[in-house]
Structure 1
């Protein structure tokens, strides 16, 4: 015979209180003496009783879920090294709070806006994590209009009412360029990320400014889309220049690894003929040949910090501050060396 699950009435009977008191205690509402709260929690633990998320949401008008809307081509996203680790960090926080992550992968434009509106209007989430910030990002105003709590991944370039979780890409990019300059490179090119993204632009600006401080300009800046195909196409264009670069800095590891393959297919030896550096320190970067010089961020910690900050906002804490994470760090491997003479 299957044992029936304990109910809130069973917890109330065990603790010798009303069902209403059990609800107050388990949802953190004020009005009960601490001794009573402790007695109710002990009774719930003894019985192995936990409220369902549906029951909790009805009692406190919460969904007990956070949202993440990713606007990327699914083909690109499927091999992205950032988001799986980031989501794992988010989930590590949510799992301890009995929360869920509602993930949507959408295209831009009307579909993206509709996704946020559904999350707000259906009450499916208590707040959202805003990733891949864009210049003059319209989602900031949209979330304000919808009254949906949020945190942003890095700071937007305009006004925002939401706290930001900041992992500064620029020091890592500066370190890559300085590393190449110290090796003796003067013909350095860049394969950038999408120019609509704030973080992609920040990496490109950091590269240009570091070269300028050394009295140099990039050989060229090729627009990329964070995909392997985009990395190959951009690399082929750079290698076809009358004076090709001796070093290429890519905005992510996927484009860099694809670019390394394109350079080898063109008959070049990395790093003897061409130095290559990436960004992300994805798992494969250490295992390609030669190992990829790159910049190590910590997307798992990024996800933990984003979920914790958003939960503070959702819980009604006022003035939640921005969270500053340690900046990305240079990792030197064998794909960079002095330029050919």
Structure 2
């Protein structure tokens, strides 16, 4: 016997919607315009997250499972589903505006308040830019944003104004080679920044950076720049959340010191030392440096075919509070120094 769902009291409807998964809510919203309006009005802000890479698939993440909305090739395939333990798929009709319009429809209808991932890939910049502008206007959080090594370089350059308005909270990854005259400055830094062609990332930006984790390849930093940054880091009160820095640059050489140490900078004592944060991002043979407030940092600078600075910080932990254990994966006779306790990377 059919049930007129819309005659239920709003409190009961809200509870029904709360128990629905993304596919069920979507199908309910497509029953009628009135049902869609009810879903939008009564949907609570859920701890669901959405992913969009500009193409014909949009993913909703729910408690470790993902619900993928795919563009169907034929009308007879609409609402066809494939359900698995962690990955679920449903073929649907995309609106005339394509994935960008579907994205907006889903966040409104499903009550989604944050974005897990957005990515610019080949041929997707127009769709991503359209969504990004709306997210910026709504001040919605984007946890991770990725710029791939796409061909539409000038389109991405034009998009960066919108990027500066976006609320990217956790990670920014960029694999694109920008033109030599490209310039961009973050208004707000995410927790992690990773850039594979970072010649545009200046020393002033590094000194102003509030990120926890920074990785810069093909940078334009030289010994003087890195010395300026590390001297600033040593001062009490600077870079309070900073944990990890990796910089690769062809301009790092052995002609001038960093922190009054000649390059290369590495620990030559035996046994060797490997330093990591909770077992991650290990640096082998670093030299210990100490901030004015007692914070311990571990520094290694290589020069040669791949000149690179690696720097790892252990906050507020003295050497007698560090765990030392024997380890074989770093080489014979290696001591691994790890930060104890639960700390966010």
Fold shared, TM-score > 0.5 on shorter chain: no
Q: Greater share of strand residues, 1 or 2?
A: 2
TM-score (norm 1): 0.29
TM-score by length of 2: 0.29
Larger RCO, structures 1/2 (Cα 8 Å, 6+ apart): 1
